[in-house]
Structure 1
Amino acid sequence: MKPLIKTAPTLLAAALLSACSLAPTYQRPSAPVADAYPQDTAGAAARTSVTLPASAASAVDTGWRSFFADTRLQQLIAAALEHNRDLRTAVLRMDEARALYDVQSADRLPNLNASASVARAKTPAFLSSSGHSTVGKRYDAGLAISAFELDFFGRVKSLSDAALASYLATEEARQAAQISLVAQVAQAYYTERAYAEQLALAQQTYAARSRTYQLTQQRAEVGASSRLDLRSAETLMETARAAALSLARQRAQAENALTLLVGQNQPSTSTSGALPDQRQLDAMSALPAGLPSELLARRPDIRAAEQRLKAATANIGAARAAFFPRISLTTSLGSSSPSLGGLFDSGSGSWSFAPQLSLPIFDAGRNRANLSLAETRKNIAVADYEKTIQTAFREVADALAARDYLGEQVQAQNSIVEAQADRLKLLQLRFEQGIASSLDVLDAQRELFSAQQTLVQVRQQRSGSAVDLYRALGGGLQP
């Protein structure tokens, strides 16, 4: 037995340093997307309206404080990053995965335990060599390694690699959650600001139509206006009032959604800034799109999917190693004595060495089924990785299309508002001169109000598209 004890350190070193791995060699799947984002001739004119400066930084290098100029929005994003419960859960998931990795990686090293024990046993007379019953005592103390697996075939290493990849995937998922939260807060803020602008327009319109209704009512009392004119003016006034009430409700709900994202009650946003103007939107949209292949390094959700694929690949190695012998080692070194006082006396040393070999012979197909399961899960991870890339490609392409078209749409809608305002002014002059009817004026007021509301909606959509492009390109991590 002594030669075996002498070789124990050698066996341990061999297990720790030279364990092979039966996992397949990891190869990143090719990205199942085109080499460039889609371009179309229909949007060529629109693309010329957004000039990308040569010095424009990538989204990854642009912190959200630099991207969003609104001070109030910056405060909301900072508060959300600190208090949002979904993000807090993502951080805790990361801590959970890190702890699981630490637990799994601990199996690659032997666990050394100190132990001390005492045992009393009675031997009956007919079994005692002296013919008398005896009571024996034994004291033991020492160090022991219990059931340490010598990882010659890399089973424990593969499990540790899988746990590490899962932890890294969780870390990437936390970063993806942070980027998504920044974008969601910005979208919710711009939505609330759009409702605020629409509400202000509705209130102004209601006030103007109330004055028109009162004037028409006075004219009707003296016979200068018909009952039809009075009812038409009343209809427009009440329509504006109903629109204002609806927008007030929508704005309140948008504020509630923003509070949920931030994670704590915030002061009212009634004094916050307006939607970004055309110059700010052009600056926000002037982010170079780059190439689809660059998304692999930019987007944390893609990196997370790749880490999950690596974990699935490592689990195949653990499933393959289950077909081979499993060697475990239990050993101890210490001192034993029949009395407590002589426990550490000279000559009381003791040791034990118990290697164990386990070779699967018949398991009713369990190991083969586990290997098939690991391979299937790896194929699922490949499909998930490819779908994540395709989704990211689509999000960037959609954001680019929105950048191209919404800029032109804002300009076109702004022209409509200016034309409708001028039309209303001309009709009012004609009405005062008795050339146009009051119905023409009321119709022009209605169309101007509708055009103004649509302009605010399109501006809000363009603000959202700039945020979508920023998020889709992987921005939002840096403060």
Structure 2
Amino acid sequence: MTKTLLFWRTQMPFSRTWPALATAALLAGCSMIPTYERPAAPVAAQWPEAMSTTSAQAGTPAAELAWQDFIGDASLRELIRLALANNRDLREAVLNIEQVRAAYQIRRADQFPTLNLAASGNRQPSSDGNGGISSTYTAGLAMAAWEIDFFGRVASLKESALAQYLASEEARKATQTSLIAAVANTWLSLQTNDELLALTQRTLATRDDSLRLTKLRLDNGAASVLDFRQAESLTAQARATLAQQRRLRALDVNALTLLVGQTLPDALIATTAGAAAPAFSDVPAGLPSDLLTRRPDIRRAEQQLIAANASIGAARAAFFPRISLTASAGTASGELSGLFKSGSWGWTLAPQALLPIFDAGRNQANLNSSNVGRDIAVAQYEKAIQTAFREVADALAGRATLDEQVQAQQVQLEAEADRFRLADLRYRNGVASYLELLDAQRSLFSVQQAVAQTRLSYLQNQVTLYKALGGGAIVDDASEKSSVQKKEVKS
């Protein structure tokens, strides 16, 4: 047993092994990750010519303008605060960050040796043929198969995991911007449907009165059955529109409840008659190249591209030797009572190198898969840029034309209102036919609905432009907390 212990203690003198370990530590970190180059943006350098006047506005960029400063209505701001606190999609995105962060920490831990407290005992027949039993007991610290990262395989996997973590943070920001825009647009739709509901109720009341008057005139021979049927048809149409508006309002409330994540306070969704339209701050469009750093969905796609690029480094390193080190230090004895006595201490050091010779093409297939994965990530990154360009261009087109459309329809509304007043006066005085009056009623109601819908489109377009330019990502304590965590991860 003494010979066995002596061999265990002097298998590889530490004075001769530490230079080899130091050299390995210096060589570890050799990276095979391809040099990353950001792909060229596959979009024009300027917005469409028709939008040039709208894109040159001065002001705070949307990505630097907090939503509290963008939205002027206090009720809407409070609804957004509730949504940021309770929305389940945003909560899932935040939890995904924690999960991916843990995965990154696991990859980072792979770069360091793992130390364990190990104890073992072994009893077997003696090899001297005397029929006795030999015993061996060991206790101490053990390090199992620590990979010395000569060719950067572990480091590449860590870099890929880090990029995935940063992508998850950008995904949370993208979810947040989408949530803010969805709450704002749904709230605006609810306000418009309340306005249309009130308009339809007033129109139905007017047509009910007209129907009763026409029935009275019919009974007294002053109106024809055709006049009565026309009045009856318009009244039924208004009643059907009223049912539709009630349904649309209920759908808006349901959608807003889901977005906010709780029952809606009545005070926050109430509509005040005659209230001014909600105010939103104007934001400059800037240049298409600005989207690369301002849109979280584009930054997320780029981080996923970086992760795919790092995975190629790990796949390349698999073609080279994988060197691992197993070591232990502690005490060994043939008797349990002598385990910690003087002279029983020792250590072992067992390096191992594995060079792939035949793997049926597994490593090459893995490298091919990684290369294709990077190409897919490039396509996804470019598609994200093109989608962002289209969204901003569409919103700029809306900003350039919707305001003019609202103003033109407002003039039309005033004209139709005056036309209806004159037609009603002419009919009551027997100058005009009832058909003329009904046509004026129908036109006025249609224009009133169109004005409300176009005004909604104009307001929702402002929200959409703010979101499309990357607005809404910086706002709350959760963002600040994630930024702190990101700094901790990088450190």
Q: Could you tell me the TM-score, scaled by structure 2's length?
A: 0.90
Give aligned pairs, total: 464
CA positional deviation for 1:78: 1.3
SS in 2 for 1:80: helix
- Counterpart of 1:404? 400
User: What is the CA–CA distance in structure 2 between the aligned matches of 1:168 and 1:345, rounded to whole Å?
Assistant: 53
Percent identity between the two aligned chains: 51
1:327 corresponds to: 323
Whole-Å separation in 2 of the counterparts to 1:461 and 1:478: 26
Partner residue of 2:152 out of 151, 154, 166: 154
In structure 2, the residue matched to 1:431 is 427
The residue type equivalent to 1:39 in the other structure is E
The CA distance in 2 between the partners of 1:108 and 1:234, in whole Å, is 82
CA 1:466 to 1:4, structure 2 compared with 1: closer, same or farther past 3 Å?
farther
Shift of 1:274: 7.6
Q: How far is 1:2 from its partner? A: 6.0
| Amino acid in structure 1 at the alignment position of 2:42 | P
- In structure 2, what is the Cα distance between the partners aligned to 1:59 and 1:270? 26
Q: Residue type of the partner of 1:201? A: L
Equivalent positions of 1:290-439 (< 5 A) are 290-439=286-435
Of 83, 100, 105 in structure 2, the residue corresponding to residue 102 of structure 1 is 105
Secondary structure of the 1:355 match is strand
**Could you tell me how far 1:136 is from its partner in structure 2?**
2.7
Q: Deviations over 1:44-71 (max 9, x none)?
A: 8xx58x994x4x2111121112212222
Task: Give the CA deviation at 1:455.
Answer: 0.7
| SS at 1:421 equivalent | helix
Q: Which residue of 1 aligns with 2:443?
A: 447
In structure 2, C-alpha distance between the alignment counterparts of 1:65 and 1:86, rounded to whole Å: 21
Matched, 1:71 2:71: no
Runs of at least 5 residues in structure 1 that lack an aligned partner in the other structure: none
Shift, 1:477, TM fit? 2.0
Q: Is the 8 A contact 1:320 1:371 kept in 2?
A: yes
When residues 300 and 237 of structure 1 are mapped into structure 2, their CA distance, relative to the original with a 3 A threshold, is: same
> Per the alignment, do residues 11 and 440 of structure 1 end up closer, same or farther by CA in structure 2, a change over 3 Å counting?
farther
For 1:147, what is the secondary structure of its paired residue?
Answer: strand
Counterpart residue number, 1:20 = 30
**1:88 shift after superposition:** 1.6
Task: Quote how far apart the aligned CAs of 1:361 are.
Answer: 1.2
User: Which residue pairs with 1:57 in the alignment?
Assistant: 60
Match of residue 243 from structure 2: 245
Distance 1:101 1:245 in 2: 54
- Name the amino acid aligned to 1:236: L
Q: Is the 8 A contact 1:190 1:275 kept in 2?
A: no
How far 1:11 moved relative to its partner? 4.3
Letter in 1 for 2:66: G
Partner of 1:37: helix, strand, or coil? coil
User: Partner of 1:35 in structure 2?
Assistant: 45
Structure 1, 265-274 or 28-37: larger mean CA deviation: 265-274
Pairs within 5 Å for 1:114-193? 114-123=117-126, 127-128=127-128, 132-193=130-191
**Aligned-partner Cα distance in 2 for 1:427–1:190:** 34
Q: Deviations over 1:417-467 (max 9, x none)?
A: 111001111112222332112221111011000000011111111111111
Q: Is the 8 A contact 2:118 2:142 kept in 1?
A: yes
**Residue 407 (structure 1) shift:** 0.8
**Structure 1 position 9, deviation (Å):** 4.2
- The 1:276–1:67 alpha-carbon spacing in structure 2 relative to 1, beyond 3 Å, is farther
User: What is the letter of the counterpart of residue 15 of structure 2?
Assistant: K
**Counterpart selection for 2:261 from 251, 256, 263:** 263
Go from structure 1 to structure 2 and tell me whether the alpha carbon gap of 1:4 and 1:290 turns closer, same or farther (over 3 Å shift): farther
Tell me the SS of whatever aligns to 2:307.
helix
Deviation at 1:195, TM superposition (A): 1.3
Which of the numbers 190, 194, 206 marks the counterpart of 2:204? 206
Residue 467 of structure 1: aligned partner: 463
Deviations 1:357-406 (A, max 9, x none): 11111212211111111111111111111111111111111110011111
CA positional deviation for 1:16? 4.3
Matches of 2:31 and 2:274 in 1, distance apart?
57
Cα offset for 1:10?
Answer: 4.2
Contact 1:11–1:150 (Cα < 8 Å) also in 2: no
Unaligned runs of 5+ in 2: 1-9, 476-491
Q: CA deviation at 1:119?
A: 2.4
Q: Which amino acid aligns with 2:46?
A: A
Query: Contact (CA 8 Å) 2:75, 2:269: kept in 1 or not?
Result: no
Determine if contact 1:72/1:273 at 8 Å carries over to the other structure.
no
> Secondary structure at 2:116's aligned position in 1?
strand
Structure-2 separation of matches of 1:314 and 1:246: 55
Structure 1 residue runs of 4 or more that deviate by more than 4 Å after TM superposition = 1-4, 7-17, 273-278
Q: Which has the higher mean CA deviation after the structures are superposed, 226-235 or 196-205? A: 226-235
Q: Deviation at 1:122? A: 3.0
Change (3 A) 1:175 1:346: same
Instruction: Give the direction of change, closer, same or farther, for the CA distance of 1:197–1:27 in structure 2 (3 Å limit).
Output: same
The change in CA–CA distance for 1:352 and 1:2 in structure 2 (over 3 A counts) is closer
Q: Distance in 2 between matches of 1:177 and 1:35?
A: 27
1:271 is aligned with what amino acid? A
Q: What secondary structure is seen at the aligned counterpart in 1 of 2:350?
A: strand
Alignment partners' CA distance in 2, 1:270 and 1:170? 33
8 A contact 2:187–2:269 mirrored in 1: no
In structure 2, C-alpha distance between the alignment counterparts of 1:147 and 1:162, rounded to whole Å: 23
Question: Which of 77, 84, 89 lines up with 1:86 in the alignment?
Answer: 89
Deviations 1:55-108 (A, max 9, x none): x21111211122122222222211111221111221122111111111111110
Question: In the alignment, is the contact (CA less than 8 A) between 1:187 and 1:464 conserved in 2?
Answer: yes
In the alignment, the residues of structure 2 paired with residue 253 and residue 473 of structure 1 have an alpha-carbon distance, to the nearest angstrom, of 28
Equivalent AA in structure 2 for residue 437 of structure 1: S
Aligned with residue 219 of structure 2, among 218, 221, 224? 221
Report the Cα offset of residue 253 of structure 1: 1.1
Query: Once the 2 structures are TM-superposed, how far is the Cα of residue 216 of structure 1 from its aligned partner?
Result: 1.8
Take 1:211 and 1:401, find their aligned partners in 2: how far apart are those partners? 43
Distance 2:21 2:156 in 1: 18
